[in-house]
Amino acid sequence: MLPPHRVIRAAVLALAGIAFGQSSPSLTGDWVSAFAKFDAKGYERVNLAQSGDRLTGESDGMKLTGSIKNGKIELEGKGDKDHKLKASGVFEGGEFRGTAVLDGDDLTWRMYPEKKSPGVKTHTFEPTAFHRQFTNAIPPVLHVFPGDSISTWTVDAGGNDAQMKKRSNGGNPETGPFYVEGALPGDVLAIKLNRVRLNRDLAFSGTRVVPTALHPGYFAGLQRDSEKVKGFNGKWILDREKMTGRLEKPGDRLKEYTVPLRPMMGCIGVAPPAGMAWRTGYLGVFGGNMDYNEVREGVTVYLPVFEPGALLFIGDGHAAQGDGELTGDALETSMDVTFTVDVIRGKGQSGPRMESADYLMASGIAGSLHEALQMATTELSRWLARDYDLNYAEIGLLFGSAMRYDIAEVVDPFVHVVAKIPKKALASIPPAKGK
């Protein structure tokens, strides 16, 4: 099997033969059409078959016909109702470039060959820089294919590595972004956390419950009694053999207190929609700083894709965290992590979803607990309707008898609630056809 750079070079040279009028290699195969109007962009997958200089194919539900002559391509497509395409272009820089009219809109157009995986691979990535935004503006640090795994590490929320060396300013600096070939807007990126492991013996947490989780009058009283809590700190000693944590300076009342360690990733996110950039303290439809303590080893996170390649970021490791992340910082630490990426084509979703051995879980992220609960319930309902072909009444009966909710976190700019259904409750329900 040819290495990736030789496969791509061969495709480019073959297409160059068309541009210079040499014998025509076949354009049969998979392509991507990219449309743009000012700063708005859209993408569609194209499958072409060539016979002589004639082309046929399909794209986004349209049947395509066209021709290729002397490096110039002409394509027309017609789908349901008024869904129509007319495009033309010439070969330039390894792709076809030109103009198109799509559903009545005049657009710039380019079409490039879809890259094929040379085979599943595990990449070891050594980060040298860390980023504090979820955005499409940061160049990817690594290109991978669906099915590939990445083994890497993250700094803690304050920017410290496994040796407590400062590698970044604080604020959840992220490792990445990783570009996943073939991921397009409207797809879903699946991130399977194969390994989430502590790589040092220290963690740091907040020491006081945040005011957003308390009654205002009670919180005001706590502020008046603040002298009582002097001398406390949130430094934790981690025992990686026993997988327990204890306070470095616990005081008399907590000197016997230990906490079981359950390493998790606070941040997993992709580039947000519409070219937006969010600081890494934020969370939303793109994932981000979700701080859900079930995002740990063995769990798969599903995120909607908004940019080609998805642009995946990961960071903010926690040695342990209670529901809600009530002190504003969990047991913050650096982490070694290995994960596998995959692309679920054309199965767009409205927000983050997760899957463990025991549960299907859907996120609701909003400005209040009530809104977040509504969003989480809605997203899980959509998931079950699609994958199990359940109607509204069937979902209601299932939710009424088996639903569970987790308050993932309440300390960041938005509240995160997770709706979860046990897989045991779904065991007798056949999946929808094609699932």
Closest CA to 154 of 314, 268, 283, 298: 314
User: How far out from the chain centre does Cα 16 lie?
Assistant: 36
pLDDT in tens, 322-343: 999 999 999 999 999 999 999 9
Q: What does each C-alpha distance from 165 to 130, 151, 161, 237 come to in angstroms? A: 13, 20, 5, 17
Closest CA to 340 of 28, 120, 113: 120
Contact 366, 393 (CB under 8 A): no
Contact 330, 290 (CB under 8 A): no
Beta-bridge partner residues of 68: 73
pLDDT computed for residue 227 by the predictor: 62
Chain length of the chain: 435
- Burial code (b: 16+ CB inside 10 Å, e: under 16) for 362-383 equals bbbbbeeeeebbebbbebbbbb
Collect the ranges in the chain with pLDDT lower than 50: 1-24
Q: How many other CB atoms are there within 10 angstroms of residue 48's CB atom? A: 22
Q: pTM to 2 decimals?
A: 0.93
Q: What does each C-alpha distance from 138 to 184, 239, 280 come to in angstroms? A: 17, 36, 13
